[in-house]
Amino acid sequence: GVYDLDRVRLTYVNEALGLTEADARRNSPIDFLPIRADAVLVARGETETGEYRRQHELLVDGLRRAGADGATVRSLVCRGRNHFDLPLGLGDPRDELGRAVLGTMGLA
């Protein structure tokens, strides 16, 4: 995911979005830690670009530093996947991400 929208603001994508610095700050999940949850699963594909990898680590580290209100923070890197095909395994107990999500929900 994208958790620091200021990076998006600095790319060509912002031509269509029109994010201001204030918009990016107001809408960036990284600026709203800690969260209230018992467990947090942060997943990314193994074949992601450097920026997606950086964003993933930014959120995982931020959650752990903030204590996430006592939440267990789990980082998962799914083999051979990227952000386009990663969601295809949600809810599928045969899929690495599906197992992790179902387990986090107590449904494994």
Interval 18-32: pLDDT, tens:
999 999 999 999 998
What average pLDDT does the structure give for the chain? 91
| pLDDT score at 80 | 95
pLDDT reading at 69 higher than 90:
no
How far does Cα 55 stand from its chain's mean position?
A: 7
Alpha helices, DSSP H, located in the chain: 6-9, 14-17, 21-27, 50-66, 96-104
| pLDDT score at 68 | 55
Place of tokens 């060509």: 12
The pTM assigned to this predicted structure is: 0.86
Check residues 43 and 33 and name the one with the higher pLDDT: 43
Angstrom CA distances, 3 to 49, 94, 99, 106, stand at 15, 28, 24, 26
Percent of the chain with pLDDT over 70: 98
How far does Cα 66 stand from its chain's mean position?
A: 16
